[in-house]
Amino acid sequence: MAYIILIVVLAVLILAAGGTMLLRPRLGRRVPRARSGGDLGAGTGTGTIPRPGTDTTADTSGGTQTAPAPGAPTAPAEPPPAPVLEKPPPSAGRMMRLRARLARSQTGFGAALLGLLSRDRLDDETWDEIEEVLITADVGVTPARQIVTDLRTRVKVEGTRTPDEVRAMLRAELLAQVETEASRALRTQRHEGRPAVMLVVGVNGTGKTTTIGKLARSLVGDGETVVLGAADTFRAAAVDQLQTWGDRVGAETVRPDKEGADPASVAFEAVSQGIEAEVDVVIIDTAGRLHTKTGLMDELGKVKRVIEKRTSVDEVLLVLDATTGQNGLRQARVFAEVVDVSGIVLTKLDGTAKGGIVIAVQRELGVPVKLVGLGEGPDDLAPFDAETFVDAILGG
Ligand code: GDP
């Protein structure tokens, strides 16, 4: 009997050991599978691995969610998170911040003038050289002659010159040429319960779209609200580009409903939207195709007239590429004949040593340079400041 019991116990033990051996490989497969799913982060259908961008805290906080029954309609997808708006810096002091960039491009011209004026003997030949340096820097023939005449008189009156005196004399003369009576301030204040309206004009390629984008940022940085009107309706890429700039700082962009739509209707719609939303400023981009003067006149004239059905146009800014010299001045003349330009935006001043164009264009159009573009970065647009500009030329 005891012998039989011993055999039964042994048989039970053998069976139990065999069962464990059989189970072991199964467990061994399950553990690594679960781990590999986690490592890849690919979500193998277990529901425990978050998808990229999923808020994992949402799953654990509620605790009352139940899995949807098979075949039941799934909850609508969450809307994508709102884009994070950028906070651009205010416009004050920008030109000072960008002065190093200006100095890098302009000191060649300033240093040449200082060198010539510091010569022991200022003979006719030296004065001719001074005039040539000024003309090469795009100051323009008439202003260059004026500067030379003024400097000659000062040298005669003041006699001997230390390097500091030469510098102070040249600084005063250049400042006198760059400064204007007209205010350089942009009219961006709401009036009579309506937004300020700015029309931006200029030839394609001068940096018009970029300038409007930078300007919108700068206004937002100063605490203003902005609506953009993409009335350059023939350039789909420019419309998209403008909207991208606007989206980054929360400025609404009114777009044409189709390529080639009537620019005046887009401008009207943008102004109407600006009035309704009670924003501070509406900036309208316009066509930059210099096909014919009459074509341009018709188009810009119509845009302006249509806006004026709702409110006044407070600024007409002409965007001019500083690197284009005389050609740029010719374009400026055409635009000035077609619309009443109230301010000039001189772009790409970081890319040319010919900063004298500031003097030439102000004199040519009789309107002040209000803004300058000093780079491709989003905040590389600055309110123009004559003293900072002249000091950058003189490397001070
Ligand atoms: P648009 O055709 O007149 O609208 O010109 P865009 O705004 O598209 O600009 C043309 C090119 O000029 C782009 O590559 C801009 O980044 C560049 N640009 C615009 N303003 C400046 C500036 O102040 N400095 C430099 N270096 N490049 C600029």
Tell me the per-residue pLDDT of 171-196, one tens digit each, with 9 for 90 and over. Answer: 999 999 999 999 999 999 999 999 99
Work out which ligand 1 atom sits closest to the CA atom of 319.
Answer: 3
Is this structure's pTM higher than 0.85? no
Q: Is the CB of 350 under 6 A from ligand 1?
A: yes
pLDDT over 80 at 358, yes or no: yes
66 Cα–ligand 1 center, Å: 55
Residue 297 confidence (pLDDT):
81
Confidence band for 273, pLDDT divided at 50, 70 and 90? very high
The pLDDT tens digits for 95-122 are 988 888 889 898 888 999 999 999 988 9
CA–CA distance, 135 with 139 (Å, rounded to integer): 5
**Strand segments (E) across the chain:** 196-201, 226-230, 252-254, 281-285, 315-321, 343-347, 369-373, 381-383
Dihedral (CA of 238, 377, 332, 281) sign: positive
What pLDDT, on the 0 to 100 scale, is given for residue 54? Answer: 33
pLDDT of residue 78: 76
Helix, strand, coil percentages (3-state) for the chain, rounded to 5, are 55, 10, 35
368 within 8 A of 120, measured Cβ to Cβ: no
Residue 53 near residue 81, CB atoms below 8 Å: no
Q: Which of 289, 376, 379, 380 to mutate to test the pocket of ligand 1 (most atoms within 8 A of CB)?
A: 376
Q: Please report, for residues 91, 136, 348, 352, 396, the alpha-carbon distance to residue 108 in angstroms, rounded to integers and kept in the order given.
A: 28, 11, 17, 10, 13
Angle, alpha carbons 155-160-162 (nearest 5°): 105
* pLDDT score of 50: 30
Which residue's CA lies nearest to atom 28 of ligand 1? 376
The Cβ-side half-sphere exposure at 319, using a 13 Å CA radius, reads 27
pLDDT score for 347 = 97
